[in-house]
Structures are given as C-alpha cells and as structure tokens.
Amino acid sequence: MAVGLLAIGVAGCNARNKPAQEDLSFPKRIAVPPCEQPGSRVEVLDVRPDPFRWKPSPGLEHIVVDLHVHARYAQDLWLLVDETTFPSGVRSVSKSEDGWLFNNLVHAWWLGRSADVTFKDLHLTTSDPTIPVVLGQINVENVSPQTWLERGGLGDHRDTYGGALVYAGIEVECVSWLDVTPRTPR
C-alpha cells in the first residue's frame, strides 16, 4: 500500500514538472544586443519617397530604402526590416522576387552565405522615421525555411495542413535602429 501511494505521489510530481506546451499563436518579441562594429551591422545607403502614388494615409510614409548588410561571418542570416516580433508558429511560408513572407505578414530577406550584401529598392510603409532591422537565423520546424518549403513540394509557397500552426523561430544575432527619413527631395 505504501509503495502504491509513493508511485502515485511520484507520478503526480512528474506530471506537474512537465513544461507547458508553447502557444504558437503569439509572436515572440525580438530583444537582443545592437549590431555594432566590429561585429555585424546594417547601414542605410539611400532613403527616398516611394514613387508610386499611394492613397494618402495619415501618419504613414511610403519609402524606398537601400541597405548594406555586413555580417561578422557568412552563416545563413536573414534580414527583417521594421519588425519587432517574429511568429512563434507559422501557417504559411512563401518566396518571391521581393523576399520571403511568413504568415503573409512578416517579410524577410535571406542573405545566403554572403557576409556582405546590398538590398536595393526595399519598399516600406512606416509611421516612424527610426525603424529596427534584425539579423538572425530563421527556422521552421527546426529546419531552414528553404528546406521546409522544399519538403512541401509545391514550389515557392507552402501552407500547413488544415491551417495548423507549426513551430517557427529566429535566433537573433543583432538589432539596429536606423533613421529612414527620406534623403532626396519629394
């Protein structure tokens, strides 16, 4: 009888010590050290008003930005521009000429294996003249987004079955805050 109560007590303790399952519907906030020399850094090469005539939106600025990224070492890094969170779970990943899109919401650009990359003509809509840029490694179900997309076998887009969320994450190398006030006259 004492052995039975001991077994129940131990089983109860083990059940309480199990980590809670992560809720993949909430994004994770990005907070890490700044990108500073001599490590990885992101520099603004040019900022100009977007030439496309958008419907006026109070407080929003449509701009085109050219950025230069210098990574400390080539390591399959991604660039996120004007993002302060990244999804904990994704339903879709797609790739286009304009970069990658996670959940049809978070835009990212892959640096590849290069330590120096220039991104030209990034179209942004922002309400703040100072925006964050993030360098980090993205994974979806513990593999690269490219591998996850390939495993889906549908080309440049993959959705999860039934809209279920699958684990996604970013291991951030650094974050910089850049002034994106247009430098050329309107």
pLDDT, one tens digit per residue, over 63-84 is 999 999 988 777 789 999 999 8
Domain contains 136: yes
Closest alpha carbon to 73 in 132, 137, 122: 137
Tell me, yes or no, whether 8 lies in a domain: no
Domain that holds residue 93: 21-179
* Count of alpha carbons within 13 angstroms of residue 24, beta-carbon side: 13
Instruction: Report helix, strand or coil for 22.
Output: coil
The confidence score (pLDDT) of residue 121 equals 93
Task: Name the least confident of 13-22, 90-99, 136-145, 172-181.
Answer: 13-22
Q: Is residue 144 part of a domain?
A: yes
What's this model's pTM, rounded to 2 decimal places?
0.78
In a domain, 28, yes or no: yes
In sequence order, the 6+-apart residues with CB closer than 8 A to the CB of 18 are none
Residue-wise pLDDT tens digits, 24-39: 766 666 666 667 656 7
